[in-house]
Amino acid sequence: MNLGLQNRVAIVAAASKGLGLAVARGLAAEGSRVAICARDARSLASAAESIGPDVMAIPVDVTDAEQVSRFVESVRARFGSVDICVTNAGGPPSKTFEQTTTADWQAAVQLNLMSTLHFAQAVLPGMKAQGWGRLLTITSVSVKQPLDGLILSNSVRAAVAGLVKSLANEYGAFGVTVNNVCPGYTATDRLNGLAGKLAADQQTKESVIKERWAALTALKRIATPEELADVVVFLASDRASYHTGASIAVDCGLTRGQLG
Ligand code: NAD
Calculate the average pLDDT of the chain.
97
Mutation test residue for ligand 1: of 11, 17, 19, the one with most atoms within 8 Å of CB = 19
Tell me the mean pLDDT in the region 122-141: 98
Contact 71, 37 (CB under 8 A): yes
Name the region of 217 (left: φ>0; alpha: ψ -120 to 50; beta: rest). Answer: beta
Q: Separation of 53 CA from ligand 1 center, angstroms?
A: 24
d(CA 40, CA 220): 34
Instruction: Answer whether 94 contacts ligand 1 (Cβ < 6 A).
Output: no
Tell me the mean pLDDT in the region 92-98: 94
Phi, psi of 190, deg, nearest 5:
-60, -45
pTM of the predicted model over 0.85: yes
Whose alpha carbon is nearest atom 5 of ligand 1? 90
d(CA 39, CA 12): 13
Q: Separation of 216 CA from ligand 1 center, angstroms?
A: 22
Domains of the chain by start residue, with CATH: 9-184+224-248 (3.40.50.720), 186-222 (no CATH)
Tell me the mean pLDDT in the region 118-142: 98
Sequence-separated (6 or more) residues with CB below 8 Å from residue 143: 157, 158, 160, 161, 180, 182, 247, 249
d(CA 242, CA 16): 31
Contacts 24+ apart (CB under 8 A), 35-40: 35/9, 35/10, 35/11, 35/71, 35/75, 35/78, 35/79, 36/11, 36/12, 37/11, 37/13, 37/62, 37/71, 38/13, 38/14, 40/16
- In this prediction, residue 260 carries a pLDDT of 64
Instruction: Answer whether 180 contacts ligand 1 (Cβ < 6 A).
Output: no
**What is the b/e burial string over 4-35, where b = at least 16 CB atoms within 10 angstroms of the residue's CB?**
ebeebbbbbbbbbbbbbbbbbbbbbebebbbb
Percent of the chain topping pLDDT 70? 100
Band of residue 64 on the pLDDT scale cut at 50, 70, 90: very high
The DSSP secondary structure of 193-254, one letter per residue, reads HHHHHHHHHTTS-HHHHHHHHHHTSSSSSPBPHHHHHHHHHHHHSTT-TT--S-EEEESTT-
d(CA 76, CA 228): 27
Residue 31: which H helix or E strand, with range? none
Q: Separation of 23 CA from ligand 1 center, angstroms?
A: 12
Sign of the Cα torsion 166, 258, 136, 105 reads: positive
Instruction: Answer whether 93 contacts ligand 1 (Cβ < 6 A).
Output: no
Tell me the mean pLDDT in the region 124-132: 98
Contact 94, 193 (CB under 8 A): no
104, pLDDT greater than 90: yes
| Nearest atom within ligand 1 for CA of residue 22 | 26
- In this prediction, residue 258 carries a pLDDT of 75
Q: Separation of 12 CA from ligand 1 center, angstroms?
A: 12
Band of residue 257 on the pLDDT scale cut at 50, 70, 90: confident
Whose alpha carbon is nearest atom 34 of ligand 1? 91
Task: Encode pLDDT of 190-211 as tens digits.
Answer: 999 999 999 999 999 999 999 9
Q: Separation of 14 CA from ligand 1 center, angstroms?
A: 7
Q: What is the DSSP letter of 99?
A: T
Tell me the mean pLDDT in the region 4-21: 98
13, pLDDT greater than 70: yes
259, pLDDT greater than 90: no
Task: Encode pLDDT of 134-183 as tens digits.
Answer: 999 999 999 999 998 899 999 999 999 999 999 999 999 999 999 999 99
Instruction: Answer whether 88 contacts ligand 1 (Cβ < 6 A).
Output: yes
Q: Separation of 174 CA from ligand 1 center, angstroms?
A: 30
